[in-house]
Structure 1
Amino acid sequence: MPKPIRSSRRTWAAAWVVLCAVGLAATAGLNASSTPDPRPEKPVSAECAEYVADIERQLAEAQQESKGDGVLAFSRVRPGTGDDCDDELRAHLRGDR
């Protein structure tokens, strides 16, 4: 029966290091190539711009009148505007614009 080929621990460790480095490089390359293009900005309707400005005004007033921690609540749907301003309002409040 032939003797098995003996490899040193250093050889195995070096092989694992090389495999890990190749895997990390491949992962970084795939992540960099798969970033989606930013969405083009759509124009904001005058109705939405007015709604966002009204909310900003209410926030500023509440901040001036506030002496402690308070809660300011808004209804989700404003009569006459529908739901078309949801994305714009979220983006504005998150600071995307």
Structure 2
Amino acid sequence: MPMPRPRHRRTWIATWAVLCAGGVAATAALNASSTPDRPPEEPVSAQCRAYIAEVDRQLAEAEQGGRRDRVQAYAGIRNSGEDDCDDELARHLREIR
């Protein structure tokens, strides 16, 4: 079996390098385009903001008194037309932890 010429070998190596670079670039482009967008944040009602501020005040008061107690907070009960702040309160408490 005859040995391949060196020029032929260089062509294969160059082709392989170009294909690898193209694959890396395509993978990077696909990963960047498939990143999910954050859903737009819904505005928090004034009642929920006031309730979250009250929970923050109670947490700060407990921490200032040297107590590391657990705080129990209710986000509200759904009544006709009233906001339910459970998602906003949970998100806020996760952020400050």
TM-score (norm 1): 0.59
Q: What's 1:34 paired with?
A: 34
Cα deviation, 1:43-83, whole Å, max 9, x if unaligned, reads: 2122211221111001110121116xx242324x3454578
1:74 to 42, 53, 72: 72
Matched, 1:89 2:89: yes
Change in CA separation of 1:29 and 1:81 when aligned onto 2, cut-off 3 Å? same
| Equivalent residues, number | 90
> Structure 2: where are the runs of 5+ without partners?
none
Q: Are the counterparts in 2 of residues 47 and 81 from structure 1 also a CA contact under 8 Å?
A: no
Q: What's 1:60 paired with?
A: 60
The two structures, once aligned, show a CA RMSD in angstroms of: 3.5
Q: Which has the higher contact order (CA 8 A, sep 6+)?
A: 1
Change in CA separation of 1:79 and 1:36 when aligned onto 2, cut-off 3 Å? closer
Q: Give the aligned residue type for 1:57.
A: R
> Structure 1: where are the runs of 5+ without partners?
none
3-state DSSP class of the match of 1:32? helix
Could you say which structure has the higher helix fraction? 2
